[in-house]
Structure 1
Amino acid sequence: MEKGVIFVRVSKREQDYQRQIEDLRVVAQTQSLRIVAEIAEKVSGAKYNQERDGLQELLAMARKREINKVLVQEVSRLGRSTVEVLNVLEELTKLQISVYVQNFGIETLKNGKRNPIAQFMFTLLAEFARMERETLRERILSGMDEARRKGKHLGRPDGSSEDKEAFLKKYPSVVRNLRLGISARKTAKICDTSINTVRKVKDYIS
């Protein structure tokens, strides 16, 4: 019997990933797949893959040849960008580990060989997910600009403040990169954080 892993992710704003797990358990049963691990992440989809503990755990199992198949609900669970998704799929494919995506019922390998239709669809799906995320970001920024034009105050209420310790706890990866000597601009890119936030962290830890 093949060994598989269920991999799910929800953003920090969501509370429950149990439904995803239960749905994928049903898939595993229909495919006679023995699930050896269920990995659940509660992390923003904007995080880079190297910052995602759950995904790194999945890849570690794959590299140790502990699994034959990965079950996910959507291809976007595997990365924040098209490139990251395809990198994960390529590594798993080279390791002869198939990825099954439930919402489209497609799989990367068929009888141990690449499924070209799946590869093409995954590229399109990953790109659509990236475009959707960028569109949402643009809408938010546009809304903020419109609010500023109308004279509305954005950010913390006047008179409120956040202490240094609480602020630094919110950006542990930024703190870590800066202490390793990585530049503020590169840290902002790696951590997907604004350069102003990184500079503020740098001022606090200097």
Structure 2
Amino acid sequence: MNVGIYVRVSTLQQTTDNQKLELYEVCERNDWIVVEEYNETVSGTKGESDRDELKRMLTDASRRKFDKLVVWSVDRLGRNMKHLVTVLSQMKDLDVDIYSYKQGIDTSTTMGSSFFYMVGIFAELENNMRSERQKIGIRRALESGAKFGRKSKLSKSVLTQIHSLREQGQSMRQISKELDISVATVHKGCSEKVVENRQCSTA
């Protein structure tokens, strides 16, 4: 089986050598062939965009360069839970297994596969929480008087004239000619006026 080894340390003073030594011994015991190494020296709190080796690993995984990723600890892929779940979900979607030395997790086994199942639950929970936060934010904004959608390009003066001419009984086409605007714009202006003043009829 072809595997990739991903190791990360948080500071320049630390070294990945000790981690790699242990991981290579694991690979040797299991007859896994190491086809690529990924050595990262960054803070785990940084996002994926700041981690070149992580991006390279995910690209190689998408190209099926290896069947399993071997890591010292699953938190090496990102200490932030949200980011970690994202990376693990990507690996699951790519059908690439993960072996974590410290936790003793191997997702290619029946027991280890439940780990990916839990990742899926966390990912769904995060999506639901984000959706709920968005709904709450929109509701609060509406309650405070915020308006959504595109801002009107019609001036207040034009809107007032459209409304006034409609009250005088002029048709949409007549208003269009008088104000030198399209009929569609008259419809739009009257509709916007309906929101502000219910007296304008679009009939």
TM range, smaller chain? 0.5 to 0.7
Contact 1:75–1:122 (CA under 8 A) maintained in structure 2 = no
- Tell me which structure has the larger Cα radius of gyration: 2
2:76 paired with 1:101: no
Q: Aligned with 2:95: secondary structure?
A: coil
Q: Percent identity?
A: 30
The aligned runs of 1:75-114 (5 Å cut-off) are 75-110=74-109
User: What root-mean-square deviation, in Å, do the aligned CA atoms of Structure 1 and Structure 2 show?
Assistant: 2.5
- Report the Cα distance in structure 2 between the residues aligned to 1:43 and 1:86, rounded to whole angstroms: 19
Q: Which residue of 1 aligns with 2:58?
A: 59
Question: Which portions of structure 1, spanning 4 or more consecutive aligned residues, are displaced by more than 6 angstroms?
Answer: 121-124
> Is the alpha carbon distance of 1:17 and 1:53 closer, same or farther for their aligned partners in structure 2, counting shifts above 3 Å?
same
Q: String of CA shifts for 1:134-169, please: whole Å, max 9, x gaps.
A: xxxxxxxxxxxxxxxxxxxxxxxxxxxxxxxxxxxx
> Is the alpha carbon distance of 1:17 and 1:123 closer, same or farther for their aligned partners in structure 2, counting shifts above 3 Å?
farther
The aligned runs of 1:161-200 (5 Å cut-off) are none
Q: String of CA shifts for 1:42-98, please: whole Å, max 9, x gaps.
A: 111221112100100100100111110001111111113111111111111121110
2:113 paired with 1:115: yes
- Report the Cα distance in structure 1 between the residues aligned to 2:25 and 2:4, rounded to whole angstroms: 13
- Report the Cα distance in structure 1 between the residues aligned to 2:92 and 2:14, rounded to whole angstroms: 32
- Report the Cα distance in structure 1 between the residues aligned to 2:30 and 2:45, rounded to whole angstroms: 32
Q: String of CA shifts for 1:93-141, please: whole Å, max 9, x gaps.
A: 1211101000121122337x971146548999xxxxxxxxxxxxxxxxx
Q: Aligned with 1:109: secondary structure?
A: coil
Q: Which residue of 1 aligns with 2:36?
A: 37
Q: Aligned with 1:6: secondary structure?
A: strand
> May I ask how many residue pairs the two structures share in their alignment?
122
Q: Which residue of 1 aligns with 2:181?
A: none
The aligned runs of 1:7-46 (5 Å cut-off) are 7-46=6-45
TM-score, length basis structure 2: 0.55
